[in-house]
Amino acid sequence: MMDIDQFIMDCTAAVNDSVPTKAVREALAYVVSDERAVIKALGAPMQGGVKKIHVSDDLTIVNVIWAPGMKIMPHNHNMWAVIGVYRGQEDNVFWRRLKDDDKGQIEEAGAKSLGPRDVLVLGKDIIHSVTNPTSEFTGAIHVYGGNFFEKHRSEWDSSELEEKPYDIDKNMKLFEAEN
């Protein structure tokens, strides 16, 4: 069985580590290695949403459920993140800023597909977009090195790829709309 309290304690302790993402990655890899245990602890992914597990000024842990076919525009976090998938598939496209562009435009720079038991570390400056390319719900645990719900960051619209302030309320509603 997944011990949520122990996982929170492991991640909280990792925040003070010299390389916090390494310790969080190890703890998250252990958790997502057993899909049944995660589902027993958190429930089966049956409805899109971002469910808070732990939120503090220096650490956020959420259970992210991607609805079938769901996409979210390019965005950054301005903090490190560690993502672990326990069911389904999460496709990440990485973006980079165009040099000397005054509108903050970006271009594709790579991609990584995550499946069950995969864990990915994102540095604090990473810009990415996410898609669930499957016809099933995808479940992933995301751990952030700060307060995900309070941190100022940016998003880029899908057509112009121009930088704008991140709208947390709009983005949380995307998860609800996809159900």
- Report which DSSP code applies to 126: -
Which stretches in the chain have pLDDT values below 50? Answer: none
The pLDDT of residue 179: 58
The pLDDT of residue 121: 98
- Please tell me the distance from the alpha carbon of residue 46 to that of residue 171, in angstroms, as a whole number: 19
The identity of residue 145, as a single letter, is G
The answer to whether the beta carbons of residues 136 and 28 sit under 8 Å apart is: no
> Which value, to the nearest 10 degrees, does the dihedral of the CA atoms of residues 46, 50, 55, 57 take?
160
Q: Which of 179, 76, 55, 82 is nearest to 129 (CA)?
A: 76
Which residue ranges make up each domain of the chain?
4-177
Maximal C-alpha separation, the chain? 51
Residues 4-177, CATH architecture: Sandwich (2.60)
Residue found under tokens 């252990």: 30
The pLDDT of residue 177: 64
